[in-house]
């Protein structure tokens, strides 16, 4: 789950770079929403992983 949260966070950041730069205002709004949703999912995944007590694979 942490892997997918990280993947979608990176996708949201890339979308944010294109959207926040003024390419399209609609894309910017969508990118902002996706960025914050996946940022929250990423943090939740980290917290859940810490509480499970397992180390992430290297």
pLDDT at 54: 64
* CA 4 to centroid of chain Cα atoms: 9
Q: What pLDDT is recorded for position 3?
A: 87
Q: Which position has the token pair 């990423």?
A: 42
Please report where in the chains the tokens 């894309």 appear, as a residue. 27
Euclidean distance between CA atoms 15 and 56, whole angstroms? 27
pLDDT mean for each 10 residues of the chain (58 residues): 82 75 68 87 87 70
For the whole prediction, is pTM greater than 0.75? no
CA distances from 19 to 4, 7, 29, 31 (A): 22, 18, 7, 6
């Amino acid at each position: 789950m942490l892997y997918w949260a990280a993947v979608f966070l990176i996708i949201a950041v890339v979308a944010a770079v294109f959207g926040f730069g003024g390419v399209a205002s609609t894309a910017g709004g969508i990118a902002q929403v996706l960025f914050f949703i996946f940022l929250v999912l990423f943090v939740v995944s980290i917290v859940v992983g810490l509480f499970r007590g397992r180390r992430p694979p290297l």
